């Protein structure tokens, strides 16, 4: 599986360290992070649709059941599944509509993943969000985790909003989108790289324990 490897020696990560002292401290503390890329674009989007507004554990359970319904998850196999089969797998009625809509758009070539590498971020988002159930956030996650784009800032991502407030010691009741926009001015154009380190801070438990970065560093060294 292809993956992105980030560490302070990468040129764009080094520039983040130079441009944002606080983020630089986090990067130096976390060191190298590894981000697996989702190689199958259709599967990636289907998985995103399944996971909307439910827990990671529940999403994985339902997605596994969907995989068991087909020999291979393709636009045609999803299109051919009955609503009843998908409902029994745990997929909601609205998400079945979204999945079918995506399959139809790929089968009709309204969405052609092969041309995506030649398109810019805005063009891809515009194409994807024409499908029911795919909003800006889902399209942004696709750009980051399927295409490996390093210049994507997802201000609507709740996890990033929490992590930004944590890192910069901001009031947790502040508007998350506004915090993201204000704190990210020094990340341009490596927004995704900054985001990976913020997500990693969440994954390691620092953000939700409400330790400050200094407390996390002291805890780690003790």
- How high is the pLDDT of residue 1? 61
- Is 117 found in the same domain as 86? yes
Which of 96, 117, 145 is a domain's end point? 145
Q: Count up the domains in the chain and report the number.
A: 2
- Is 59 found in the same domain as 118? yes
* Cβ contact 76:183 at 8 Å: no
B/e letters for 91-106, b = 16+ CB within 10 Å, e = fewer, are: beeebbebbbbbbebb
Output the pTM of the full model. Answer: 0.89
* Cβ contact 95:50 at 8 Å: yes
Nearest to 41 by CA among 67, 6, 66, 75: 75
- Is 166 found in the same domain as 94? no
- Is 139 found in the same domain as 158? no
- How high is the pLDDT of residue 191? 97
* Cβ contact 183:15 at 8 Å: no
- Active-site residue numbers? 157
- Is 215 found in the same domain as 161? yes
- How high is the pLDDT of residue 184? 96
- How high is the pLDDT of residue 210? 63
Instruction: Give the C-alpha separation, 180 to 114, whole Å.
Output: 32
Instruction: Give the C-alpha separation, 173 to 182, whole Å.
Output: 15
Which of 145, 166, 194 is a domain's end point? 145
- Is 165 found in the same domain as 131? no
Phi then psi for 149, rounded to 5 degrees? Answer: -70, 135
- Is 141 found in the same domain as 49? yes
- Is 114 found in the same domain as 81? yes
- Is 134 found in the same domain as 45? yes
Provide the domain limits for residue 187.
Answer: 3-37+153-221
Which of 128, 145, 162 is a domain's end point? 145
- DSSP element (H, E) containing 3: strand 3-6
- Is 178 found in the same domain as 125? no
- How high is the pLDDT of residue 222? 64
- Is 158 found in the same domain as 64? no
User: pLDDT 10s per residue in the chain (222 long)?
Assistant: 689 999 999 999 999 999 999 999 999 999 999 999 998 999 999 999 998 888 888 999 999 999 999 999 999 999 999 999 999 999 999 999 999 999 999 999 999 999 999 999 999 999 999 999 999 999 999 999 999 999 999 999 999 999 999 999 999 999 999 999 999 999 999 999 999 999 999 999 999 876 678 887 777 776
- Is 62 found in the same domain as 33? no
């Amino acid at each position: 599986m292809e993956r992105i490897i980030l560490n302070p020696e990468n040129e764009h990560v080094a520039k983040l360290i130079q441009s944002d002292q606080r983020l630089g401290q986090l990067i130096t503390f976390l060191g190298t992070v590894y981000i697996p890329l989702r190689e199958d674009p259709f599967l990636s989007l289907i998985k995103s649709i399944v996971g909307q507004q439910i827990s990671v554990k529940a999403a994985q359970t339902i997605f596994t059941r969907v995989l068991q319904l087909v020999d291979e998850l393709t636009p045609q196999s999803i299109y051919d599944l009955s609503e009843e089969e998908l409902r029994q797998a745990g997929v909601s009625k609205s998400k079945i509509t979204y999945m079918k809509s995506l399959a139809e758009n790929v089968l009709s070539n309204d969405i052609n993943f092969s041309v995506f590498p030649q398109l810019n971020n805005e063009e891809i988002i515009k194409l994807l969000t024409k499908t029911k159930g795919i909003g800006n956030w889902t399209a942004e996650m696709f750009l980051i985790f399927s295409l490996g784009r390093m210049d994507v800032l997802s201000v609507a991502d709740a996890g990033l909003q929490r992590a930004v407030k944590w890192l910069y010691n901001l009031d947790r009741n502040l508007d998350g989108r506004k915090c993201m926009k204000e704190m990210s001015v020094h990340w341009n154009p490596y927004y995704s790289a900054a985001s990976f380190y913020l997500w990693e801070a969440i994954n390691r438990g620092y953000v939700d324990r409400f330790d400050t970065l200094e407390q996390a560093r002291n805890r780690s060294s003790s």
